[in-house]
Homo-oligomer: A and B are copies of this chain.
Amino acid sequence: MNLKHTTIPPGESVDLERFDPADRCGLSSKEDSEQLLQADVRDLTALQEIFAARKERALLIVLQGMDAAGKDGIIKHVMSGINPQGVDVHGFRQPSAKELAHDFLWRESKVLPQFGRIGIFNRSYYEEVLVVRVNREALEAEGEREAAESWHERYEDINAFERHLVRSGTIVLKFFLHLSKEEQRKRLLARLDDRDKLWKFSDADLDGHMHWDAYQRAYSEMLAGTSTTWAPWHIVPADRKWVSRAVVGEIVLSALRDLPAEYPKPSKERIEKSALLARALEGEAEKGEKPSG
């Protein structure tokens, strides 16, 4: 798999037109890709157990992308099979009145993964420089709001927040699922045409489609402004679901592979005490119940 072009270099401007949403990242076929994903999920499952046991680091996965870009599918196909005890998924849509009465990083801060756990944000505080921005700019254009906000300050706050998380031991992986407008159109149509999928459709999904160019601009600037050395953005071609799933699986796996792959080493005292306890248990009279299974 070729992941060379999927990481956005910090400090560079981003032209989304230069990234092909239908790119295969060197994957030859759907079948090969699914096999690779399966193998990666197996390895992920094993490494996650050690990660959970060591409790030294946390892993935060941020998923962003237009509606129907495949965020739910990534969670289902990449993270299923992993022990649910080690994974927390949080979705962030319309904030509540209480959440709006706090700073824009508050609701995510409350549910950050603890050491040993993987947290997945299905959308996140990045919505604050995406949907919030597009809507405000639409109102500004109609003269219903004054003065452009400084989105740059929000980037700065996000970057400082993530730097703090990384310094404290959290690994932050950010994925932008890059979908073409035409593929989104097809997927939204499929939802509208299938009564078993219609529940997934919200009228708001269409807003994004109608304001496509404004969203692409907001995404470009966001990606350029918040791809940092400590938490770079990965741009994932999303027109083929089997490509995006394999790419995300591979990047998550490689982050875990960079960590020590051993269960926590007990201290000398711990080992000595355990030997004592084991001897006591061994000496205990057996009670006659001897299940063989």
CA distance A287 to B239 in the complex (A): 14
Which residues of A84-104 are within 8 A (CB) of B?
Answer: 84-85, 87-89, 91
Find out whether the CB atom of B76 lies under 8 angstroms from the CB atom of A83. Answer: yes
Q: Tell me, yes or no, whether A291 is within 8 Å of chain B by CB.
A: yes
Q: Within 8 Å CB of A240, what residues of B?
A: 291, 293
Q: Within 8 Å CB of A293, what residues of B?
A: 22, 24, 30, 239-240, 242-243
> Quick one: which of B53, B84, B199, B290 contacts A263, CB cutoff 8 A?
B199
CA distance A209 to B282 in the complex (A): 13
Q: Tell me, yes or no, whether A156 is within 8 Å of chain B by CB.
A: no
Q: How far is the CB of A284 from chain B (nearest CB, A)?
A: 6
Q: Within 8 Å CB of A21, what residues of B?
A: 289, 291
Find out whether the CB atom of A291 lies under 8 angstroms from the CB atom of B183. Answer: yes
Q: How far is the CB of A175 from chain B (nearest CB, A)?
A: 15
Stretch of A136-144, A161-169, A186-194 with 4 or more beta carbons under 8 angstroms from chain B: A186-194
Find out whether the CB atom of B198 lies under 8 angstroms from the CB atom of A291. Answer: no
Q: Tell me, yes or no, whether A264 is within 8 Å of chain B by CB.
A: yes
> Quick one: which of B76, B85, B242, B282 contacts A85, CB cutoff 8 A?
B76
Q: How far is the CB of A88 from chain B (nearest CB, A)?
A: 7
Copies in the complex: 2
A interface, CB within 8 angstroms of B? 21-22, 24, 30, 45, 53, 72, 75-76, 79-85, 87-89, 91, 120, 122, 180-183, 185, 188-189, 192-193, 195-201, 203, 206, 209, 239-240, 242-243, 263-266, 270-271, 273-275, 277-278, 281-282, 284, 286-291, 293
Give the most central of A87, A183, A196: most B CB within 10 Å: A196
Q: Within 8 Å CB of A182, what residues of B?
A: 286-291
Find out whether the CB atom of B270 lies under 8 angstroms from the CB atom of A198. Answer: yes
Find out whether the CB atom of A239 lies under 8 angstroms from the CB atom of B291. Answer: yes
Find out whether the CB atom of B84 lies under 8 angstroms from the CB atom of A84. Answer: yes
CA distance A220 to B199 in the complex (A): 45
Q: How far is the CB of A176 from chain B (nearest CB, A)?
A: 17
